[in-house]
Amino acid sequence: MTFIPPSKDCLLCERLCAFREQNKIKFPHYYNGPVEPFGDINAEVLIVGLAPGLNGANQTGRPFTNDYAGDILYPALKEAGLAKGDYLKKKDDGFELVNVRVTNAVRCVPPENKPVTAEEKNCRSFLKQEIAAMPNLKVILCLGTISHKNVLQALGLKQSFAKFRHGSVYDTGIRGVKLIDSYHTSRYNINTGVLSYEMFQKIIYMIKDLIK
């Protein structure tokens, strides 16, 4: 299957489209569109987040870029040898992922960073296509419960198949792909102590062991 991302002027979600138009006026120099995945389609690891941040990926046009969550994610990947270069919080910084691809369950920035169920459903077809189009996929890392839920549905699995638990590893039974859960690397989770950099780094090294 070939993965075709949503067009820059995707009209599937009325609320997100309206928010996009507001942001085009308020932030005319931002990307303001469905954010395309970052990394090679041939990668063995797919990391799935929630949605672009208003002043992060929605600004830069690259997942987790210029967003606090990326300040945790990308250094952790580099430390484990799954990225190279300097992460300078902009799309053209030369930072590269190694055997990893990063995407989101919802491709457009939602108001208050909270997509509604219909928006998740509308965007899920892109996630399903993306997963199917990755020929070497071995591991999917779900960042947070919304990512977990949408990945299961994209794979055609029931929610009862796997409960979200930080650090849990599930064999999906599909193409040998394993699913790993982590708390999202959001500022809120870090500031409240739900997740630490060290906790997340352990997850990344778990993934590295699984793809040896």
The arithmetic mean of pLDDT across residues 104-124, rounded, is 97
The pTM for the full model equals 0.97
Cα–Cα distance list, 155 to 14, 82, 108 (Å): 26, 25, 21
- The answer, yes or no, to whether residue 119 has pLDDT greater than 90, is yes
- The answer, yes or no, to whether residue 102 has pLDDT greater than 90, is yes
Q: pLDDT value at position 1?
A: 74
Give the tokens for residue 210. Answer: 């699984």
Got the DSSP string for 146-211? HHHHHHHHHTT--GGG----TT-EEE-SSTT-EEEEE----HHHHHTTSS-HHHHHHHHHHHHHHT
pLDDT tens-digit series, residues 130-164: 999 999 999 999 999 999 999 999 999 999 999 99
Q: pLDDT value at position 2?
A: 86
3-class secondary-structure state, position 43? coil
Average pLDDT, the chain: 97
pLDDT tens-digit series, residues 185-212: 999 999 999 999 999 999 999 999 999 8
Query: Can you tell me the distance from the alpha carbon of 61 to that of 44, in angstroms, rounded to the nearest whole number?
Result: 23
Q: pLDDT value at position 181?
A: 98
For residue 117, the surrounding DSSP H or E stretch is helix 117-132
